[in-house]
Structure formats: C-alpha cells, structure tokens
Structure 1
Amino acid sequence: MRIKPKSPREAIQPDRAPEPPARSRHARNPIVILINLVLSSAVLAVLAIGAGLYWGKAEFEAPGPLKTDTTVIIASGSGLSIISDTLEANDVIDNAWVFSLGVRAYKNAGRLKAGEYAFTAGTSMRQVMTDLVEGNAVTHAVTVPEGWTVAQTVARLRENPILVGDLTDIPPEGAILPETYTFTRGTSRQQILDQMKAAQEKLLGEIWQRRSEGLPIETPEQLVILASIVEKETARADERTRVAGVFVNRLNRNMPLQSDPTILYGLYGGEAWTRDRSAITRSELDRQTPYNTYQIRGLPPGPIGNPGRAAMEAVANPSRTKDLYFVADGTGGHVFAETYEQHQANVRKWREIERTLREAERANGNGAAATAN
C-alpha cells in the first residue's frame, strides 16, 4: 500500500519555545530597587574606605620626607591643626591632613605635648606622633658646682638662654643642692631653682637621719653651715671626712675654726667666690664680721655657700681623728697635725713651698699664694 505524502503545508514544524516567565512584581518594586542601590553603594563605600585606610596607614608609617636631622619647636597651647601645619612647614611630614587623621585614629589628638623636638631624617608620621605623645623633647642642662653661692647660681640661671621667666623667690644661702639639672625648652628659671631647693631638703633630711652620734651639731642647718666650710677648704674627695673631723674636734674643744673662706664670705657675701683672690690680707683677717672664724668661736651664723652631697656626708660622718690642724702641702691637698708644734713645722714647710711658687709665678708674670689653717 502506498502512503500518500503530506503536502508542504503539512510539513513537520519545530515545537515552539516556552515564553520566559513573567518578571516578578517584587523586582519591579521601587523599594527593592532602592535597597539594591543602597547595598551596592555600601559595598563600594566599604571597599573605598578600606582602600583609604590601607593607603593612609601605609602613608602614616612610611619614611617621612625629612632629608636631614632637624629641630622643631612646638609652642605651648598648640592644637592638632597647628602642630600638623608646623610639622609640614618644617618638612618633617608631607601631609598634615593624613597626620591629623592618623593622630585622631590613635586617639592621641589631645595628648601631644609642646616642647623642642629633634627629628631624624626619614622619621615616619607614626614616630613623630609617638615622640609628641611621650614628650621625647630635647633636654638641656644647667650645672651648679659644689660650693657655689646662691648669688652665683642665680646669675647662671639668668644667663641661660633656654630658660624663661625671672626669679621671684630666691632661697637663702645653703638651701639649694649643687647638681646638674636637666630641663626642656619652656622651663622657667624659678622652676629649676625650686627643684634645687626641694632636692636639698630631701637629701639633707636623709643625711641628717644617718649622722653619727655625739656630733657638736644640733640641727640640720648647722650641718649645712659646717659642710659649706668643708666644701671651700678642700676639693679632694679623700680629704673631706678628715677636714670635717678637724673642725668637729675644734668645736668639741671650743676652739675657733680659723677657716680662711669664712673671712672672705663675711666681707664679700655671695660675691666672695667670684673674686680672683689668692691670699687674705692682714687687714681682712683683722676685720670683724659674724663670719670671721678667727675671731668667733663656734659656727658662723649661716653657710658660706651651698655644699654638695659629699661635703654634707663628710660632716655627718667625719673621720675619727685627733687632728686639730691642717695646712696646704703644695700638691692641692693638705697635711694634718694633732699638736700646734707639729702644725707649726708643717706651716714652715708650706711657707718654703709658697715662696718657691711665688718666685716661679713672678717669673711667669702671675701672682698667687695660699694660706694656712
């Protein structure tokens, strides 16, 4: 049987593809569109902030633009903005805005300290911040030599170009501790002087508690008086306790101390040690003052300078000796004696040395001499 072919109109047609699903009504909702936009923006913002923080942190910790070491003064009362601009103006940092943000990020905006700061080449912003927060400012120093008077000390403080302000409360003689004191720019002269006074009070209290028993000294003030005399009589550490022992023995026997430096202080006060004096004249020795220990017995009414720690320690714990006299030996030290006869022999030897020194100094065009006790 033959099958009759279908007509062209009846040719097999491909199946029709299904229609795509209708778009959800939620997707077309404006609220959904807005939420998608906000979320997308938030993601982009987070990415941008993260990138900014990464860049800022890298900049904050990277080596700075400073080519050579430099010193910058941060004025007292400066805020973060002024400090940042000052650092940028001095090429310590290259971006004041980044520095300010970094300082705020570390919550240090109110902790930066004024002062004089030394920055090394290439210092990072983070290190700059650390220095300012910790107050690693440049320190200066002023030294008061042992035995100096208050007048000499005041003059040194007033001459110092770094310290500021004038002195309004000057302590009495013997009330400050000779020492080296460090300070930062902006420190006042009165602050340093007050520090010297506080240091003396503290040290004197400690030494007084450690003093030997049986000393002919009744108060800490008297210890300072005698220590100031010991300080001016010898600069040698190995002699201080022995010189102190001589004066203690004399006080116990009610003998005059016969200390030449007391004569000078009685005549010239705090200016005594600024004078170029090599010997005491007979007229000076004979002039009566409350400090002339050739004419008074016991201690003078006050110190003749500000003794150092070693001199005060020597008086508090003097050598146990029978010595009553000492005289220069020509080498910067002294020779000691228990009796007046021994002392006179030592004085004669010293006079010979003194005469030789004087002749040599005359030959050199100078004049210098020393006296005996």
Structure 2
Amino acid sequence: MVMTTAKSLILLLLMFAALAAGGRTKMLRELESNNDGDGMCKQVVETQGYSCEEHKVTTEDGYILSMQRIPAGRSGAGKKRGPKPPVLLQHGILTDALIWLDMPPDEALGFILADNGFDVWLANVRGTTHSSSHTSLSSNDPKYWEWSWDELAAYDLPTMVEHVYRQTGQKMHYVGHSLGTLMGFAAFSRHELLEMVRSAAMLSPIAYMGQLPSPLARAGADIFLGDAFYWLGIRKFNTQEKEGPSSKLAADICTKMNCFNVQDLITGPNCCMNTSRPNFDKQQPTSTKNMIHLSQMIRKKNIAMYDYGIIGGNHKHYGQTKPPAYDMTSIPRDLPLLLSYGGKDLLSDVKDVHTLIEALSNHDRDKLVVHYVEKYAHMDFVYGVNAKQVVYNPVMEFFKSN
C-alpha cells in the first residue's frame, strides 16, 4: 500500500506542468493529428469567417516555425483605412497558437483583436505540432530536443518578431501568456527586439518562481523529476505519444483521479473557464530540458540561463562557473508594459509577481500598468468566459494608448 501511494505521488508530481496546459476541443484534436501545414488556418480560423495566412520562418539554429496571420475581422469587421497595428501572440509551455483560438470568436483573444482593428500574428515555438521541422534534424532525433526556453528567447522569438516587422513595416504589440511572458522578459532584459516592439502585455507573468505556492509543482522540481527523465535519455517531454513514457504516466494518473481537479491544484482554482470543453487530455510536446530549466528557477529562486553545472559544462557554454542571469531591472524603463495577474494563480503567484513589480520599480510611471484580477487563476486568462471584459478590453485600451 505504501509503495502504491508513493508511486502515485511521484507520477502525479511528474505531470505537474503537463496537466497545467489545458485541453482541446474535438475539432482541435483532429487538427493536431493532421499536420498539413495549413490546417490551423483552414480548419480553425477560416471556418469562423476570418481570412488567414500561413507563414513559415526558419531560426538561426535551423528550426522551421509556423505562424498564422489574421489580417482582418469577420466579414471585414475591424477594417480601417491605413495600416493596422500588428500584434504578436506568444503561447506558453505545452500549448501552441490554438490556445488563442480555442473559444468562440467573441471569447478568444486572437479573434477579438482581429475584430477590433489589429493585424493579428500567432506564434508556434519549436517542437509544437505545426513547428516540428528542422533544416537537418528529424523530430525523432534526440538532438532536435536539446533546447530550453533560453533558445526560445534567443532564436524563436526574435525570428518571429523580425518576420512580423518585415511583413508589416511597423513596430508591434506583444502578448505573452505564462512562458510566453518569460521569453519576452528575457529578450527585453538584454535590450533585444526593442526597436521592433511597441508595447507588451504579459498575462500570468512568469519571471521569478522562487515563492511558487503550488505544492505539486514545487515538489516535482525539488525531487529533480525532469532531471531523472533526462538522465534516462528521454529528451522529448510528450504526454500524447501512446507508447511514450510520459503518456503512460499521464494515463496512470488520470485513471486514479479527476485530471480537471489536478489542474486546479497546479494552476490554482480557475474560476471562469469554459466548462463545456472536454477533459484536459491534450498537450503539445516540449523538451525535457525545458522542464528542467523551469525547475531550476523554482529551486534556485533566480532567473538565469540553463545551469549545466560545474562538471556538466557551465565553463564550456558560458566561460564561467555559474550561468548568466537575466536581470529584470535592466528592462528599459520606457518600454510600455502591462502585467495582468490573478489572485488565485499558483504558477504566476502573487508574491512572485510582486517581486517582479519591485524589480521594475524604476520603470517610468506612465509606462507600467499593473492589472490585478482577484478571482483569476492561471488558465482563466486564456480560457475565461468573461476574459474579454475582465482582461482583453483593458489590454486593447493599453495598446491603443501606446
């Protein structure tokens, strides 16, 4: 009995991030099984009455990324004379651009922005279903998965931002959720992309994670579960492969308990999610190394590049014993920032967000907007039925003022 309980706990902890990602509708599950390069536009966007373009971009290290563009609203809604302000939407971990479309048009941010006069661009980072190609590596090659969010911030984000800038000739607004905010913070702290970004709205901002209150997420980090996977040679973290180790663990967990309730234990008690969606049974893959990097942030209570260890290669990679830090205080004080966070969020928790706000204390007062939603948890910001009124309308006002 003790062994069974211990096994179940370990399996549960391993899945802390996977179960936090949210699910998909039946249509989106079918879409993800059909990686034809234009499925997202044809099956999700155009069926709702919007025009849509598919774009492909290649990072400096060879990853081929998929992007979608919604240049106008339904039946021409949102059209106006002159160029429309572009906005790039960056998803978080274990999700993709579908997270901005996985609601009715009046509730999904991607559609709402298009209907309100924005030129909408959707990002999909490496490893996700529609960004699984490389110039020389197969996604079945372990080398394909040798990356963490360092590479997402250093390669994926700049490549997509530069593409939007070249296509539109304008500086863009940026929206990140969860890990998408960390990617932005990392780039901005190094004074990168600033000549192409007009403002940034960070939903459920992730920067500091040292005070993370989720007991499952913290325990999963503290007992080095991701590291154990990596040591076993498992470079791809994917709960959806039928015979894969991650999916077997997920299946074991979800036969023992309600996965919806587990998600609330990890992300916080989401108040306002669209409960008509099915159980949370579909996530996008990421790299095991990415999971390890996040757990390092929790354990070490800092924001730094991936720690290879003194023996493992910090000297080789960085020329020093410790990985370089990302300094949030170096984010330019005149960059317009909106931080929208929830009082019930266990991943982007209140204490860690306050630490971030303190780090930005020298920011120009008229350039930093702090938006607190007491009842919201992590996934309410993208799946809340009232998110348009509570979050998205203030985001659009922020954009229009910048």
> Per the shorter chain, which TM-score range?
under 0.3
Give 1 or 2: higher helix fraction. 1
Q: Report 1 or 2 for greater relative contact order, CA contacts < 8 Å, sequence distance ≥ 6.
A: 2
Output the TM-score relative to the length of structure 2: 0.23
Give 1 or 2: higher strand fraction. 2
